[in-house]
Chain A
Amino acid sequence: AQRVTQPEKLLSVFKGAPVELKCNYSYSGSPELFWYVQYSRQRLQLLLRHISRESIKGFTADLNKGETSFHLKKPFAQEEDSAMYYCAHRYPGSARQLTFGSGTQLTVLP
C-alpha cells in the first residue's frame, strides 16, 4: 500500500531561520504530491502541489524521485508559518484518494 511518511511530529525553528519539513513516499511510479496546511482554528487547505512547481507563501517543495521525497522548504521562516503541515500523495490518473502523512506541527519562535 502506498504510504506517506513525515518523520517529525514536532519541529521548532526561530524566526528568520530556514525550515525544512520532511516527507517521504512509497510509490515506484510517478506520483502526485501535495502539501496541505492547517493553521490554528482554520480548516485544512492546500498549500502547494508538485505539478504546479509553484512557490506559495515562500514555500517550495521539490520532488526527488531518487530519494522518493517531497520535502517542504522555506529559506526564512515567519511566525505566521506556525501550523500543522500534511504531506499527501495520490496515484496519478486516479484522483479519488489522497493518502496523508501523519503531519508535522511547525512552531516558529520569535
Chain B
Amino acid sequence: ETGVTQTPRHLVMGMTNKKSLKCEQHLGHNAMYWYKQSAKKPLELMFVYNFKEQTENNSVPSRFSPECPNSSHLFLHLHTLQPEDSALYLCASSQGLQGPYEQYFGPGTRLTVT
C-alpha cells in the first residue's frame, strides 16, 4: 500500500489498558507527526520526529508515549488513558521539516476510551 497507513482504524480501550497505535509511511519521507483531532477542537499537533529524532513534544501528557524506530514507522503507546482522550489520532509525514513540504496524512485511528 502506498502513502501513509495507520492501524488499527478503530480501537476501544479501558482506562487501565495499554495499547499502541501504528503508523507507516511508504513515501520515503524523513519527518513524521502525530495529531489529535477531537470533535470540538482544532487539529492538535502532538509530536514531531525528524530522522527518528523527536523534535517536538507539544505538552502532551506522559500517558502518550511515542516511538520512532526508523523514518518509516511511528508508534503511539497508550496507557492509563482518560475518557477525554477519545479522539481521532492522525499520523502524517513530510519529506522534511525545513522548506515548503506538504504533509501527507493517514486515515486515522478512531480511539474510544471507556
Name A's B-contacting residues (CB within 8 A): 4, 32, 43-46, 49, 51, 86, 93-103
Contact = CB atoms under 8 A, between A and B. Distances in A.
Number of chain B interface residues as a range: 20 to 34
Nearest to A52: B100
B33 to A, nearest CB: 8
A100 B43 contact: yes
Nearest to B55: A96
Given A44-B90, A102-B41, A93 B98 contact: yes
Interface of B is mostly: loop
B105 interface: yes
Interface of A is mostly: loop
Contacts of B99: 95
Contact of B42 (A46, A51, A100): A100
A60 to B, nearest CB: 18
B48 to A, nearest CB: 5
Contacts of A45: 104-105
